[in-house]
C-alpha cells in the first residue's frame, strides 16, 4: 500500500513580521514635542546699559539639544558644553539710544523657539539735590532727592546703603557722623553720581 506523503507545515511569516514591528515600535524614540526655550540675562543682568556696545547674554534650553541659535537671522557661536543648555552672547546693533533684537533657537526636530527684546543705552549720571542738612555735635542728618530718567536703584551715605523705593525720583534721608556726608546714587544702567554735603 502506497503511503501518502506526510504534509509539511510551514509557519506563516505574517505573525513574525507583526512581532518584529511591535518590538521595533517599543524601541522607537518618543516624539520630540519640546520647543527650545530662550532665557536672556541682559547686559549685566539688566535691559539698560551705560555702554553703546552692550553685551547681551543668555541661554537656550531643549530636552534633546539645541543645534544652533540666530540673532536677527544671523547664526552666533555657542559656548562649549552641553547643547541641552546652549549658552550664548551677542552685541545688538544700537540706533539712537536703543537696540532691538530677535533670538531664535533651533533643535534637531525642527522646532524653533523665539524671543524678542531690547536694550536701552543710558550714559547719563543721576542728579543729586540736598534739601536739608542738620547737625547735632558730630552727628549729621542729610535729606535730599535723587533723580534719573532711567531709574534710581541705590542711594548710600558714607557707604551705608539707604532703604529706598526705586524710581525716577527718589527722596532719601540718611545719618552719619563727621564733618561732611558723601552721598552716592546709582541708576539702573550702573551710572553713579557722588555729592559731598557739608
Instruction: Indicate whether 98 and 138 sit together in one domain.
Output: no
Instruction: Indicate whether 104 and 152 sit together in one domain.
Output: no
Question: Residue 91: which CATH number?
Answer: 2.60.40.10
Q: Could you tell me the pLDDT band of residue 133, with boundaries at 50, 70 and 90?
A: very high
Output the nine-digit C-alpha cell for 53. 556696545
What are the residues whose beta carbons fall under 8 Å from the beta carbon of 173, sequence distance 6 or more? 141, 142, 143, 144, 162
Residue-wise pLDDT for 43-83, tens only, equals 554 588 888 899 999 999 999 999 999 999 999 999 999 89
Instruction: Indicate whether 108 and 131 sit together in one domain.
Output: no
Q: Which domain holds residue 179?
A: 127-197
Residue-wise pLDDT for 102-114, tens only, equals 999 999 999 999 9
Q: Given the C-alpha cell 543705552, which residue does it identify?
A: 121
User: In the prediction, which pLDDT does 6 show?
Assistant: 54
In the chain the first and final C-alpha atoms are separated, in Å, by 135
Instruction: Indicate whether 79 and 151 sit together in one domain.
Output: no
Among 140, 161, 63, which Cα is nearest to 105's?
Answer: 63
Q: Is the pLDDT of residue 19 over 80?
A: no
Last residue of a domain, one of 71, 92, 121: 121
Last residue of a domain, one of 89, 121, 153: 121
Question: Residue 157: which CATH number?
Answer: 2.60.40
Task: Tell me whether residue 19 is in a domain.
Answer: no
Task: Tell me whether residue 20 is in a domain.
Answer: no
Task: Tell me whether residue 176 is in a domain.
Answer: yes
Amino acid at each position: 500500500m502506497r503511503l501518502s506523503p506526510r504534509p509539511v507545515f510551514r509557519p506563516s511569516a505574517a505573525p513574525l513580521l507583526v512581532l518584529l514591528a511591535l518590538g521595533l515600535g517599543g524601541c522607537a524614540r518618543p516624539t520630540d514635542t519640546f520647543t527650545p526655550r530662550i532665557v536672556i540675562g541682559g547686559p549685566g543682568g539688566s535691559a539698560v546699559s551705560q555702554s553703546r556696545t552692550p553685551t547681551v547674554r543668555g541661554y537656550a534650553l531643549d530636552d534633546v539639544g539645541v543645534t544652533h541659535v540666530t540673532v536677527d537671522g544671523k547664526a552666533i557661536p555657542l559656548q562649549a558644553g552641553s547643547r541641552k543648555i546652549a549658552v550664548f552672547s551677542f552685541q545688538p546693533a544700537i540706533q539712537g539710544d536703543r537696540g532691538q533684537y530677535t533670538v531664535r533657537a533651533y533643535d534637531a526636530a525642527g522646532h524653533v523657539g523665539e524671543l524678542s527684546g531690547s536694550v536701552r543705552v543710558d550714559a547719563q549720571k543721576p542728579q543729586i539735590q540736598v534739601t536739608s542738612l542738620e547737625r547735632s555735635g558730630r552727628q549729621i542728618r542729610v535729606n535730599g532727592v535723587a533723580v534719573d530718567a532711567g531709574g534710581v536703584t541705590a542711594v548710600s551715605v558714607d557707604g551705608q546703603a539707604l532703604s529706598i523705593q526705586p524710581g525716577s525720583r527718589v527722596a532719601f534721608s540718611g545719618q552719619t557722623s563727621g564733618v561732611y556726608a558723601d552721598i552716592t546714587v546709582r541708576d539702573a544702567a550702573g551710572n553713579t553720581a557722588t555729592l559731598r554735603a557739608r
